[in-house]
Structures are given as C-alpha cells and as structure tokens.
Structure 1
C-alpha cells in the first residue's frame, strides 16, 4: 500500500512534468496504479491534497536543503549549491510552482514563504544580503530562460557571482 509520501512524491513529479492543472486524483491514481479509495485514505479531497503537496514542496525543496547544509558543518554555501544543482526535477518543479502561485492564493503564500526563507538563509550563510539576493535571482532566472540554464552552465555563473571564477 502506498503511503502519504508516495502520493505527494508522485504529485511533485506530475506537477513538474505537466503543471498544477494536471495534478488530479485520476492522474495520480493512474500514475501510482492505486484506487481513489487509497487516495481518500490519506487525504480528505483535492483541496487537502494540494495543501499537503505545497507543504511537501516546501519541505523537500527548502527545509531539507537547509537542514542538510546545516548538518554539513563545513562550507554550507557549497553544500547548498550542490543540492540545488543536483539532477532531478528542480527547475521544472520550481517553474510549475511559480506558475501555480500566479493563479492560486495558497500557492502564492507558500511561494512567498519559500522565497523569503531561501534568501534569508543565503544571507545568513554568505553574510551579505546583496550577494544572497543575486545568487537567488540567478538560480530563479536560470530556470526561466529557454532552454533553462542547468548543470555546469549554472554552476559556472554562480561561481562567477561568488568571485570563485573570473
């Protein structure tokens, strides 16, 4: 039997691939090969699921990154950047949540909180609010250009902003 996390992980993948309108009970049950009864075992409906999905996004893409960087104890900024640059649905998921936030007040509130948390943490570990803002804007902007700037290209730009590469 799939647990709540399985439903939420599947929702993040679906969200990254097709956007918020595609996150439906039917598509989730099809993707997981489960029944609607299993969905309703964990969630009281689509509204509750979407709230949990936004919380899961925040936990997985912000809280977990901060915790892992803090746990490293060394160069927190390097650890954080490696997490951001790791393969996976990062840019697509970020774009999908930002697009959702343009249409939905709850998603917007979560996106605002995520942005504020990320910039505050970058400020804390870099010691420079302007540098923190610049790094964050580079990452957000890199996901928005077509095609997105990812991997080595994004790492090069971030290292340039950090003054680690000339």
Structure 2
C-alpha cells in the first residue's frame, strides 16, 4: 500500500496510536518522531484528514486482510489447520494496544467506527467460513465466540498473554468436532 515513504509514515502513525491513542496522532508528533518536515508529510498525504483516512485503511489492510491472505496462502490445508494458523497469526503481534486504541478511536470518530465495524465483520465472516468448512453445526455462533476471545483477552487488566490466549483457543477447538 503506497510507497516505502508512505508506509513509514503509516507505520509510525499506528505506533503512535497504539502508544498514546488517536488524539496523539498529530502532524507535529508524527514529524518529530519521523525526523521529517511537514512538507515531507504533505508531499505524501496532503492533509491530516487524508492521512487519517489512509491510516485507517492501512490498519485494515495490514491487520485484517494481510492476515487472512497469509492464512489463505495455505489453502491446501484443511479448515481446522487454517483456523489454527489464523489463531497463531492473530496472537503473534506485539500486544493488544493497537486493537484497543482502534476501538477507542471508533467510539469517537464516525470514520474510524465504520472501519472498525467493517474489520470486525470481515474477521467474523472469515472465521464463520472456516467453522462452516470444518463442519460445525452453528458456524456463526462459534465464529463470534472465537473472535470474542481475541477481543476480550485484550481488554483484561492485564491483557491475556498470547500463550494463555492460545490455551483458550485450544479449549474451544474441540467444539469444531
């Protein structure tokens, strides 16, 4: 998505979002962290509203579609193995901060809310398809249950560590039988 320069700005925006929340994603902070000028920023994005739109799209592409694409790259695997691979991909990131920050942003901004709603729907639908392919009698319900472990685990204080989250999924996987 975009040039290497644009990706660097977007990655920095996601890092700032995860660390300090949406209000901290400002032009001045981005430029300071990047060691770049406002002119360099405007060259790539034109304005902060355009940047925020691109940042939301980048989040969706990198933290939903890229994960699904990685799992589907192993489409020769049975649904249950792809589900296991999906869980591994979903819990391997550095922590829940970005997901929490995105949900907080979605509570404050309609554009972020629309993206978060689409991300949730895409993720649940993908899970539903895997559950259905694996032969589960109620794939809609199981997909939502599996997704709730990911979301809920991030919101515990302290957040559920990846190993424990993986253990929760191991408890749920027999439901596919």
TM-score by length of 1: 0.94
Is 1:104 matched up with 2:109? yes
Cα 1:2–1:66 shift into 2, 3 Å: closer
Structure 1 residues 76-87: aligned runs within 5 Å: 76-87=82-93
1:146 CA displacement: 0.5
SS in 2 for 1:72: coil
Residues of 2 paired with 1:79 and 1:161: CA distance?
15
Q: Is 1:142 aligned to 2:122, yes or no? A: no
Deviating beyond 2 angstroms after TM superposition, the runs of 4 or more aligned structure 1 residues are none
- Counterparts in 2 of 1:146 and 1:121: CA distance versus 1, 3 Å: same
Cα distance in 1 between the residues matched to 2:124 and 2:4: 35
Aligned residues: 163
Q: CA deviation at 1:20?
A: 0.3
Q: 1:29 aligns with which of 28, 31, 41?
A: 31
Q: Secondary structure at the match of 2:174?
A: coil
Distance 1:63 1:113, change over 3 A: same
- 1: CA distance, partners of 2:5 / 2:86: 29
Unpaired runs of 5+ in structure 2?
A: 133-138
1:154 corresponds to which residue?
Answer: 165
Q: How far apart in 2 are the matches of 1:150 and 1:112?
A: 25
> Which SS does the other structure have where 1:147 is aligned?
coil
Q: TM-score, normalised by structure 2?
A: 0.89
Q: CA deviation at 1:87?
A: 3.3
By how many angstroms is 1:78 displaced? Answer: 1.3
Which residues of 2 match residues 2-13 of structure 1 at below 5 A?
3-13=5-15
CA distance in 2, matches of 1:142, 1:20: 21
CA distance in 2, matches of 1:123, 1:87: 22
